[in-house]
Amino acid sequence: MTGRPKHRIAVEEVVLHGNRVSFRRAGTGPAIVLIHGITGSSRTWEEVIPPLAERHTVIAPDLLGHGESAKPRGDYSLGAYASGMRDLLIALGIDKATVVGHSLGGGVAMQFAYQFPERVERLALVSSGGLGQEVNLLLRAATLPAAEYVLPLLCAEPFRNAGASVARLLGRAGLRPGRDLEETARGFASLGDMEARQAFVHTVRGIMDISGQRVSARDRLYLAAAVPTLLVWGEHDRMIPVSHGREAHQAMPGSRCIVYEDAGHFPHCTNPWRFATDLLDFVEDTSPAVVDENEVRALMRRDG
């Protein structure tokens, strides 16, 4: 890539099963899907989308319960999120894509690949959930019964406007000043309405408890042998430790692992240009996955 490209990012909506789904779209070419993390939205990819859109169709949705998408009373499991991604791609006429997921979005991406392997050309997991038990106390606390009562206080306007108070709270959770603090604070600010808080609590309780993450893909990573996989992490991630990425890399034959020494939980925000370059290099260096059910069957029988 030479120079900083300027691509218009269109914010669009589609109604699926009666629920509004907002998404960002840019560029043309083979599809790349970007899935944000918990309390996040497609805005987290704003600086990454333009360079990717030079060569690709880029789709970045707001998951249900997040951003500008609907926040219904419903299923916020990884399986439901993955099915929602499948439905969005069908609605947009996209058969296959390189699927990129950050944090919770990494868990959704892996679930999507597990449920709909014929639709995945490559996987990129960014500070991904679902690869180990450890996770920051800030998220684990949301699994407690009192979370519904505490969140309204944390998200109240006076507290959200007190930047120093938010910084102190997140600093105690181990988050570093900079993009980690900014993105996490913006995520908490998004929980200002009851529907968003309920979606957040339902999502967190579906994947973890007070001891940590309880939904893990580690026992199925061997199935990803045929899927080109990139793992990107920040060395100073205090939300999900970098050791999860390194251990997953060892368990996924042929995977590629890149650790950003200057980043925390949001490496794609800390250095968006480098992230886009690394992702484009990964796409160009690998061939799309081809699903062979006989090979998958053999792997599963051998593992059993």
Q: How open is the CA angle 266-148-22, to the nearest 5 degrees?
A: 50
In 103-255, DSSP assigns E strands to 120-126, 208-209, 212-213, 229-234
In 129-205, DSSP assigns E strands to none
> Which residues make beta-bridge pairs with 63?
none
Q: Give backbone dihedrals phi and psi of 289, rounded to 5 degrees, phi first.
A: -65, 145
Amino acid symbol at 147: A
The CA distance from 298 to 300, in Å, is: 5
Per the rule left: phi > 0, alpha: psi between -120 and 50, beta: everything else, 76 is alpha
Dihedral sign for Cα atoms in the order 119, 124, 127, 130: positive
3-class DSSP state of 98: strand
Task: Check if the beta carbon of residue 28 is closer than 8 Å to that of residue 57.
Answer: yes
Q: How open is the CA angle 9-37-168, to the nearest 5 degrees?
A: 110
The terminus-to-terminus CA distance of the chain in angstroms comes to: 46
CA distance to 84, 125, 152, per residue, from 110 (Å): 14, 8, 32
Residues recognised as catalytic? 103, 237, 265
- Where b means 16+ CB within 10 Å and e means fewer, 197-213 reads bbbbbebbebbbeeebb
